[in-house]
Amino acid sequence: MISYIIRRLLIAIPTIFILIVASWALMKVAPGGPFASERPIPPVILANLEARYGLDQPEWKQLWDYFYNIVVHFDFGPSFKFKDRDVNDIIAQGFPISLTYGFLSFLAASIVGIGLGVTAAIRHNSWVDYSAVSAGIAAQALPNFIMGPILILIFTLYLGWLPGGGWNGGQWQYLIMPVIALSTSFMGSISRIMRSSMLEVLNSNFIRTARAKGLPERTIIWRHAMKPAMLPVVSYLGPVFVAVLTGSVFVDMYFSTGGLGQAYVNSALQRDYSVLLGVTILYGTLTVTVNLITDLAYAWFDPKIRF
Amino acid sequence: MALLEAKNLSVSFDTSDGIVKAVKNIDFAIAPGECLGIVGESGSGKSQTFLAAMGLLPKNGHASGSVTLNGTEILNLPINKLNSIRGSSMAMIFQDPLTALTPHLKVGEQMQESLGIHQGLSGRKARKHCLDWLDKVRMPEAERRLEQYPHELSGGMRQRVMIAMAMLNNPKLLIADEPTTALDVTVQAEILDLIADLQKNEGTAVALITHDMGVVARMCDRIEVMRYGAYVESGSADDIFYAPKHEYTQRLLSAMPRLDTVQEDRVKIDAEKLLTVNDVKVHFPIAMSKGLFPKKVPLKAVDGVSFDIMAGETLGVVGESGCGKSTLARAVLQLIPPSSGAVSWLGHDLASMPKSELKQYRKDLQIVFQDPLASLDPRMTIADSIAEPLKTFRPDMTVRERKRKVEEMMERVGLEQSMINRYPHELSGGQNQRVGVARAMINKPRLIICDEAVSALDVSIQAQIVALLKELQDEFGMSMIFISHDLSVVRDVSDRIMVLYLGRVVELAHADAIYKDARHPYTKSLISAVPIPDPKIEKSRSRLKIPGELPSPLNPRAALRFLPSKLRAGEMTYIPKLQETTPGHWVAEHDPLDVILAGDPLADQALVS
């Protein structure tokens, strides 16, 4: 197991390396640059600016410096757009916010989704099943960027119960709507995956054996069916976890939460190379880690998997 | 009084095609301590009868009529009342021990929960009880098994666990639904012996559901023959086997290939040598040790097999699961590249040939696979599948010629013209296998390999396909390699038979010689394990038991299971030599039988782990 983890981490290094080079190259290939604007900048100033950020260096040198600073100083460099702010600052400010509402959304989506899915499977072909399935499809079909304004409309404008935006240190009133908006569609998918996999497990031979032994239905579900039925959900949860953290642009926009999502999109639009790269590396590392955790979790759910 | 009595029992299913009646108004009774056999082919409703009694029908299934256990009505009981009966007064074991146990719970945990529910036993007492029963089902190293997961056990051991678990609460009735169908013959024989002992020693009544007439002949006092959801004939074992009244029973019995029939020589074999296989090995590297860079150990699936095939000859290949028979077939056809050795076809070495050249020879080398449905492309009509080899090898043919040829071939293998545009999932298993045969035969190959080609089929369908293969062979004169775990079928079709054990040939001889004059102890034990559909012969036959189940090919000691003297001498890499005892009869070197049976205590331990 330990050697498996080490091997996986060793593979992660070239993966992230390739990720950096690829996104860096893509950015360079795309037309425009951080200092391109409608009003032409005098060539002298442009040259000065480029020298200030090292853009006058040959490409390989830029990439090398970038790597060197990350590996040796853990420094992702200065922002090209915001004076006096560097990437480390921007991430340190936005990421905790994204992480908070992202993690809560992840919890909500998995707990409610799994619960709904299991209930629907147990009451297969009853009204409980049908309404759970319909709710799941509806939740999945409603895009998050529609959920956002609808929630604000109802809870802020009509009912006046919740503040329409802001972060305020992550007080619960400010968290409710972002979490609901972000989690519903994942909740829908999770419940559907859970339902179908639970149905399949409940029809399997070992459940028939458990029934033939005279075990009560509760024991059958929790002790015999739950773990194997979770396997497909677990493999879906990994990407969901990363997605709730990365896919939070619209939450940041609608609810002015100030998370990393908005900074990420803005950096791409404004060619803020260093911010864009920094956040990409963060997400890349996160994805690699979560995938590793997912694979390790598999071994707990299925004793056949040993590393 | 009857222990279990069913009156007017019907089972129906709601399906999208309307209500399907699977069991139609049947009556039967099982007396305490007796063994009732229920025989029938797939879809006859034999399992549904007992699933209904156990309350295990799927949600769309409905049962009506009456089933009483010791005089108490048990059909359609509410679930909590049912749960106090099933697992305690009556228990059931199933066909596929691979999937019948919960994969993520240890054997001990699964067994103990049954005790907890019905007897309130837990902890050390429950554990002791489980151990007792594992010993009673002759589980090797019972104590260690309690802490193991099902996937760590072999198929036979899993079925032992199932039986031990079913017997924990001393049920009056054990329902065994095809308990040995997924197992190798030697393991099947041991499980059947075990069930027979339980019946005798514990006084448990047994309901044995099976498609195999040989199994019923060995086990049952009375037999019900079932077809299309109804019993067509019932009676004592002797009545059914020696004086079958119903036409269906007679057909079932005659469709069963028998090991003890004399085989006439059918085809004249030319002296022309078609295929020579010389010392072929197929090794797969398997990661064994842990660590950052795990060491790879070769799994010797096929380890030095040599044989020839003459034109028009059929070579049967038998062996238990894991003996490398399918790998050998694939290596011969170069579907898996052999690790070493030569396969020469009419003097050309296939193994060293470039791919483009090999392709031309494929016209003459065809294969029919085990799973008829899975081996056909689901998105192609059967006519397209049959025609595909023509497109490759006869590109000069026009569309119309090709269509004529396909129609001819379909007629030849007994497929109706109206099926020409059907897809594989719309056909039955037997029909799909006919498609597989037609596809393989359409270019009139000179060699066909049948890799367990009839194993997944019902007896009567199996008999039809075997008959078809024989007819085609008479007509086209092709050679066959017929691979099967079923010795009776192999015997039925083969001129010569090769017995494989862990990737090596242990005996190769004329078909009759193998059965009448088996020399190698492994061959003898295989033959003695095959049930013969004749109660008198079957019940008086003694079996040759070689200790242990078929061991893992990764175990170096296992290869010398029949040469314990070499093991003792420490010659672990010794390779038993094939010796020609009489002309054409090759036997691998082995120790005398009593030495093998006495066994090497060390080897025995290594074998079961």
pLDDT in the model for residue B595: 80
Nearest to B221 by CA among B205, B244, B197: B205
H/E segment holding residue B6:
strand B4-15
Q: Which of A7, A125, A211 sits opposite B56 (nearest CB)?
A: A211
Q: How far is CA B422 from the centre of its chain?
A: 29
Mean pLDDT, all residues of chain A: 85
At residue A84 the predicted structure's pLDDT band, cuts being 50, 70 and 90, is confident
Domain residue ranges in chain A: 2-73, 92-301
Give the SS3 label for residue B37.
Answer: strand
The residue behind tokens 């691998």 is B588
Q: What is the C-alpha to C-alpha distance for residues B522 and B315, in angstroms, rounded to an integer?
A: 19
Asked if the ipTM is above 0.95, the reply is no
List all residues of chain B from 135 to 154 with a beta carbon under 8 Å from chain A: 149, 151
Q: Which of B99, B104, B151 sits opposite A301 (nearest CB)?
A: B104
B87/A214 Cβ within 8 A: yes
Percent of chain B with pLDDT over 70: 94
Residue B27 has pLDDT above 50, yes or no: yes
Q: Do the beta carbons of residue A97 and residue A174 sit within 8 Å?
A: no
CATH architecture of the domain covering A92-301: Orthogonal Bundle (1.10)
Please give the average per-residue pLDDT across A124-139, as a whole number.
90
Residue B110 has pLDDT above 90, yes or no: yes
Q: How far is B154 from chain A, CA to nearest CA, in Å? A: 14
Tell the burial category of B18 from Cβ atoms under 10 Å away from its Cβ (0-12, 13-18, 19+): exposed
Q: What is the C-alpha to C-alpha distance for residues A120 and B219, in angstroms, rounded to an integer?
A: 44
Q: How many CB atoms lie within 10 A of CB B304?
A: 16
Please give the average per-residue pLDDT across B353-368, as a whole number.
90
Q: What is the C-alpha to C-alpha distance for residues B605 and B555, in angstroms, rounded to an integer?
A: 11
B117/A213 Cβ within 8 A: yes
Minimal Cα distance from B51: which residue of A?
A212
Amino acid letter at A59? Answer: E
Please give the average per-residue pLDDT across A125-140, as a whole number.
90
Please give the average per-residue pLDDT across B386-415, as a whole number.
90
Q: What is the C-alpha to C-alpha distance for residues A15 and A224, in angstroms, rounded to an integer?
A: 38
B82/A214 Cβ within 8 A: yes
Q: How far is B10 from chain A, CA to nearest CA, in Å? A: 20
Q: Which of B59, B84, B104 sits opposite A302 (nearest CB)?
A: B104
Phi-psi region of B507 (alpha: psi -120 to 50; beta: other; left: phi over 0): beta
Domain residue ranges in chain B: 4-254, 311-494, 519-609
Q: Do the beta carbons of residue B295 and residue B289 sit within 8 Å?
A: yes
Chain B residues close to A303, C-beta within 8 Å: 103-104, 149, 151
Q: How many CB atoms lie within 10 A of CB B384?
A: 17
pLDDT in the model for residue B266: 55
Confirm or reject contact between B133 and chain A (CB < 8 A): no
Q: How far is A231 from chain B, CA to nearest CA, in Å? A: 12
At residue B171 the predicted structure's pLDDT band, cuts being 50, 70 and 90, is very high
Write the CA distances from B86 to A94, B135, B157, B534, integer angstroms. 59, 23, 23, 34
Q: How far is A3 from chain B, CA to nearest CA, in Å? A: 5
H/E segment holding residue B601:
helix B601-608
Residue A236 has pLDDT above 50, yes or no: yes
Confirm or reject contact between B120 and chain A (CB < 8 A): no
Q: Which of B79, B83, B103 sits opposite A302 (nearest CB)?
A: B103
Chain A residues close to B94, C-beta within 8 Å: 205, 208-209
Q: How far is A307 from chain B, CA to nearest CA, in Å? A: 8
Phi-psi region of A259 (alpha: psi -120 to 50; beta: other; left: phi over 0): beta
Cβ neighbours for A62, distance < 8 A, ≥ 6 positions apart: A54, A55
Q: Do the beta carbons of residue B38 and residue B49 sit within 8 Å?
A: yes
Q: How far is A214 from chain B, CA to nearest CA, in Å? A: 4
Residue A306 has pLDDT above 80, yes or no: no
Please give the average per-residue pLDDT across B292-301, as a whole number.
77
Q: Which of A203, A209, A216 sits opposite B94 (nearest CB)?
A: A209
A124/B59 Cβ within 8 A: yes
User: In the structure encoding, which two tokens stand for residue B454, read together?
Assistant: 């009839």
Helices (H) and strands (E) in chain B, counts: 23, 22
Please give the average per-residue pLDDT across B483-493, as a whole number.
89
Q: What is the C-alpha to C-alpha distance for residues B328 and B318, in angstroms, rounded to an integer?
A: 11
Please give the average per-residue pLDDT across A128-139, as a whole number.
90
HSE on the CB side for B576, CA within 13 Å? 30
Q: Which residue has the higher pLDDT, B1 or B72?
A: B72
Superfamily per CATH, domain B4-254: P-loop containing nucleotide triphosphate hydrolases (3.40.50.300)
B86/A228 Cβ within 8 A: no
B105/A212 Cβ within 8 A: no
| Beta strands at B348-349 and B365-368: parallel, antiparallel or unpaired | unpaired
Confirm or reject contact between B69 and chain A (CB < 8 A): no
Amino acid letter at B82? Answer: L
The residue behind tokens 């070769």 is B298
pLDDT in the model for residue B606: 43
Q: What is the C-alpha to C-alpha distance for residues B49 and A263, in angstroms, rounded to an integer?
A: 66
Q: What is the C-alpha to C-alpha distance for residues A76 and A89, in angstroms, rounded to an integer?
A: 10
How is domain B311-494 classified at the CATH fold level? Answer: Rossmann fold (3.40.50)
B113/A223 Cβ within 8 A: yes
B244-289, pLDDT tens digit by residue? 999 999 988 888 887 777 666 555 566 788 899 999 999 988 776 6
Q: How far is B43 from chain A, CA to nearest CA, in Å? A: 18
Residue B68 has pLDDT above 60, yes or no: yes
Q: Which of B56, B83, B88 sits opposite A216 (nearest CB)?
A: B83
Nearest to B53 by CA among B107, B90, B103: B90
Q: Provide the number of CB pairs (under 8 Å) joining chain A to chain B.
A: 83
Q: How far is A226 from chain B, CA to nearest CA, in Å? A: 10
Q: Spell A65-88 as b/e; 16+ CB within 10 A means b.
A: ebeeebeeeebbbbbbbbeeebbb
Q: Do the beta carbons of residue B308 and residue B273 sit within 8 Å?
A: yes
Which of A112-116, B515-519, B599-603 holds the top average pLDDT? Answer: A112-116
Write the CA distances from B527 to B136, B320, B345, integer angstroms. 26, 12, 32
Mean pLDDT, all residues of chain B: 87
Chain B residues close to A228, C-beta within 8 Å: 103-104
Give the SS3 label for residue B25.
Answer: strand
B99/A206 Cβ within 8 A: yes
- Optimal mutation site among A213, A215, A298, interface B, most CBs of chain B within 10 A: A213
User: In the structure encoding, which two tokens stand for residue B537, read together?
Assistant: 């012969």
Q: Do the beta carbons of residue B551 and residue B542 sit within 8 Å?
A: no
- Optimal mutation site among B104, B106, B112, B149, interface A, most CBs of chain A within 10 A: B104
Residue A37 has pLDDT above 70, yes or no: no
Cβ neighbours for A202, distance < 8 A, ≥ 6 positions apart: A121, A122, A124, A225
Residue B608 has pLDDT above 60, yes or no: no
Confirm or reject contact between B317 and chain A (CB < 8 A): no
Q: Do the beta carbons of residue B378 and residue B464 sit within 8 Å?
A: no
| Beta strands at B504-510 and B585-588: parallel, antiparallel or unpaired | antiparallel
pLDDT in the model for residue B605: 45
B94/A205 Cβ within 8 A: yes
A166-225, pLDDT tens digit by residue? 787 778 888 888 899 889 989 999 999 999 999 999 999 999 999 999 999 999 999 999
Residue B557 has pLDDT above 60, yes or no: yes
Write the CA distances from B383 to B42, B374, B400, B404, B469, integer angstroms. 27, 16, 13, 11, 20
Lowest mean pLDDT among A31-35, B56-60, B523-527: A31-35
Chain A residues close to B114, C-beta within 8 Å: 213-215
Q: What is the C-alpha to C-alpha distance for residues B298 and B301, in angstroms, rounded to an integer?
A: 9
Nearest to B321 by CA among B462, B174, B529, B502: B502
Q: How far is A27 from chain B, CA to nearest CA, in Å? A: 37
B117/A215 Cβ within 8 A: yes
